[in-house]
């Protein structure tokens, strides 16, 4: 069996950095080198201030950095000496040409493949870590085959990551599963077993799943699409709860006790964010539209109960279904922003709004597709003055995200956005507080102190339901609290008065909800 003694990881981002740091810690006899073209990022990995925040990551890095873990810009040297190369570069959604807005942009993957074949000799295992479309490994292999050398033997594997930001180190050290896909040839299986041996240093063998390459690639996309679908479904239920007087928390609890469903990802909120969910769902949409694969239709048939007794979805139906998952996420964000505007007497122009939290979830500094960006956009469009605080997202990143052409125009950000150094500064003199990230620290703020310095009436809009246990306390203080996904008859906690909130476009909700679930029921 091939023994892996040296690993090179191309890409020092949210996947490559944490993954290879844990591998280095768990495999002290393997030399791990993480490389990147971004010199500033590599310098940060070699400093006391890492470029990304992840609980436990700093301790892992410091335990093995300089011993068997190295961060470098010397990409070509690292490729040459490695037995195994991970490709962990970005695969964003295309913003141009065919597949714009849906297909994954593989230009960085292709660039890596060409660089690897140029600087490699002998036997080497090349492993996809980035989220890629099905059959991307075949594209990499074609580049290798077209540039082959007499003494070169490159084996291509797929090893997708299933990390949740905020718990990445825990997920890496105690994974639900490790998925490795490779060719079903003798050479391909040797490469698969070599990578299995790396993970077997700390992962039980029964948790290491081996498949063919294409099954591995599709499993990553499908897993994220399933999770996104669950979030959008419970958010759609939250709108229905508001219209009927039901409590979405009670409904979610009842649903989650069904063992066939389970209670994970049934927390209604302002919508999902992060780098993967939306991108991967859109990627699946594009695959359905472009590749005409019946296997995809059979896979998505699993959305339907009693799978063996139901007909297949058509590809068009699958595409419509996946688009509706994204539509529902966008609708939830707009609906939350509408609640804010309606509650503030139907105008937020020139009103100071404190935005607490900008990361897409707690325990990470990642802002990609964060709901905070979109809620901020809707409020800026209405002329609100936003004072934003997040404990882990740097000022530069917030300004960059809000300055994107699709988010703001002209000088909107410079006129309307202020980055605060702490939550108390953000809330000082504000008309309302909007909680967009479920940071634990927001449960522990001195809300009596905050209320004294806010304009009256003082509103709290809890988009992540982190203050559910504090409602009585907030009522005594004098806040008017509005929680995302509560029922329509929301209580103003100061007065106890019931009032109805205007739902933006009930017809829009009805259309998405009925199409989503009529399609499932009509197929049974």
Residue 519's pLDDT band, with cuts at 50, 70 and 90, is very low
Residue 266's pLDDT band, with cuts at 50, 70 and 90, is confident
Tell me whether residue 117 is annotated as binding.
no
Collect all residues with Cβ–Cβ distance below 8 Å to 271 and sequence separation of at least 6.
Answer: 231, 232, 235, 329, 330, 332, 333, 336, 371, 374
DSSP label at 112? H
Residues serving a catalytic function are 276
Instruction: Supply 342's token pair.
Output: 């309606």
Instruction: Identify the weakest region by mean pLDDT among 161-175, 225-239, 424-438.
Output: 225-239
**Model pTM score:** 0.66
Tell me whether residue 361 is annotated as binding.
yes
SS3 431: coil
Tell me whether residue 220 is annotated as binding.
yes
The residue-averaged pLDDT of 411-422 equals 96
Q: What is the pLDDT of residue 267?
A: 74
Tell me whether residue 348 is annotated as binding.
no
pLDDT at 448 over 80: yes
The residue-averaged pLDDT of 61-78 equals 97
Q: For 419-442, what is each residue's pLDDT tens digit?
A: 999 999 999 999 999 999 999 999
SS3 365: coil
Residue 104's pLDDT band, with cuts at 50, 70 and 90, is low
Cis, peptide link before residue 101, omega less than 30° from 0: no
Collect all residues with Cβ–Cβ distance below 8 Å to 426 and sequence separation of at least 6.
Answer: 354, 355, 356, 387, 388, 389, 420
Residue 509's pLDDT band, with cuts at 50, 70 and 90, is very low
More confident residue, 384 or 139: 384
What gap in Å lies between CA 87 and CA 165, rounded to an integer? 19
The residue-averaged pLDDT of 385-405 equals 96
Identify the CA nearest to 367 among candidates 168, 95, 165: 165
What gap in Å lies between CA 385 and CA 350, rounded to an integer? 6
pLDDT at 316 over 80: no
What gap in Å lies between CA 200 and CA 233, rounded to an integer? 37
Instruction: Supply 489's token pair.
Output: 């008859």
Collect all residues with Cβ–Cβ distance below 8 Å to 441 and sequence separation of at least 6.
Answer: 391, 423
Tell me whether residue 273 is annotated as binding.
yes
Residue 284's pLDDT band, with cuts at 50, 70 and 90, is low
What gap in Å lies between CA 367 and CA 358, rounded to an integer? 7
- What's the chain's Rg over C-alpha atoms? 24
The residue-averaged pLDDT of 331-350 equals 88
**Taking a C-beta distance cutoff of 8 angstroms, is the pair 23, 203 a contact?**
no
Q: What is the pLDDT of residue 524?
A: 36
Tell me whether residue 184 is annotated as binding.
no
Tell me whether residue 271 is annotated as binding.
yes
Q: Cα–Cα distances in Å, from 346 out to 334, 371, 379, 414, 467?
A: 15, 22, 12, 24, 24
Residue 511's pLDDT band, with cuts at 50, 70 and 90, is very low
Collect all residues with Cβ–Cβ distance below 8 Å to 373 and sequence separation of at least 6.
Answer: 358, 367, 401, 402, 407
Domains within the chain, CATH numbers bracketed: 6-203 (3.40.50.720), 222-300 (1.10.1040.10), 326-483 (3.40.50.720)
């Amino acid at each position: 069996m091939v023994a892996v003694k040296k690993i090179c990881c191309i890409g020092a981002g949210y996947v490559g950095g944490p993954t290879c740091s844990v591998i280095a810690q768990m495999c002290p006899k393997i030399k791990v080198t993480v490389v990147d073209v971004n010199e500033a990022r590599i310098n940060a990995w070699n400093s006391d201030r890492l470029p990304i925040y992840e609980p436990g990551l700093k301790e892992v890095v410091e335990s093995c950095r300089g011993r068997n873990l190295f961060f470098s810009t010397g990409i070509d040297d690292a490729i040459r000496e490695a037995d195994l190369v991970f490709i962990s570069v970005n695969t964003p959604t295309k913003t141009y040409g065919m597949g714009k807005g849906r297909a994954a942009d593989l230009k960085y993957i292709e660039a890596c493949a060409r660089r690897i074949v140029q600087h490699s000799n002998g036997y080497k295992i090349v492993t996809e870590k980035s989220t890629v479309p099905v059959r991307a490994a075949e594209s990499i292999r074609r580049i290798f085959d077209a540039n082959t050398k007499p003494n070169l033997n490159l084996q291509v594997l797929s090893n997708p990551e299933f990390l949740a930001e905020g718990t990445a180190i825990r997920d890496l050290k105690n994974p639900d599963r490790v998925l490795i896909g490779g060719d079903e040839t003798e050479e391909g299986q040797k490469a698969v077993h070599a990578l299995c041996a790396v993970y077997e240093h700390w992962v039980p063998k029964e948790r290491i799943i081996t498949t063919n390459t294409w099954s591995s690639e599709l499993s990553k996309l499908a897993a994220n699409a399933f999770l996104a679908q669950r979030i959008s479904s419970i958010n759609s239920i939250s709108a229905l709860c508001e219209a009927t007087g039901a409590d979405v928390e009670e409904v979610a609890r009842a649903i989650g006790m069904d063992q066939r469903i389970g209670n994970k990802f049934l927390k209604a909120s302002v919508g999902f964010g992060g780098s993967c969910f939306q991108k991967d769902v859109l990627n699946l949409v594009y695959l359905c539209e472009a590749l005409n694969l019946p296997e995809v239709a059979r896979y998505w048939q699993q959305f339907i109960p009693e799978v063996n007794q139901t007909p297949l979805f058509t590809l068009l139906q699958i595409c419509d279904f996946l688009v509706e998952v994204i539509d529902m996420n966008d609708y939830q964000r707009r609906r939350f922003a509408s609640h804010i505007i309606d509650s503030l007497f139907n105008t937020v122009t020139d009103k100071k709004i404190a935005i607490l939290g900008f990361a897409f979830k707690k325990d990470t500094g990642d802002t990609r597709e964060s709901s905070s960006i979109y809620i901020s956009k809707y409020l800026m469009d209405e002329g609100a003055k936003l004072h934003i605080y997040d404990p882990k997202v740097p000022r530069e990143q917030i300004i960059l995200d809000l300055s994107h052409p699709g988010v703001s125009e002209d000088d909107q950000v410079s006129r309307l956005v202020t980055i605060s150094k702490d939550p108390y500064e953000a809330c000082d003199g504000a008309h309302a507080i909007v909680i967009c990230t479920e940071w634990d620290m927001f449960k522990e703020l001195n809300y009596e102190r905050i209320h004294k310095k806010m304009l009256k009436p003082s509103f709290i809009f809890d988009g992540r339901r982190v203050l559910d246990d504090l409602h009585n306390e907030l009522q005594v203080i004098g806040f008017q609290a509005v929680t995302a996904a509560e029922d329509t008859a929301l209580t103003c906690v100061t007065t106890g008065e019931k009032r109805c909130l205007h739902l933006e476009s009930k017809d829009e909700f009805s259309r998405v909800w009925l199409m989503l679930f009529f399609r499932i029921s009509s197929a049974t």
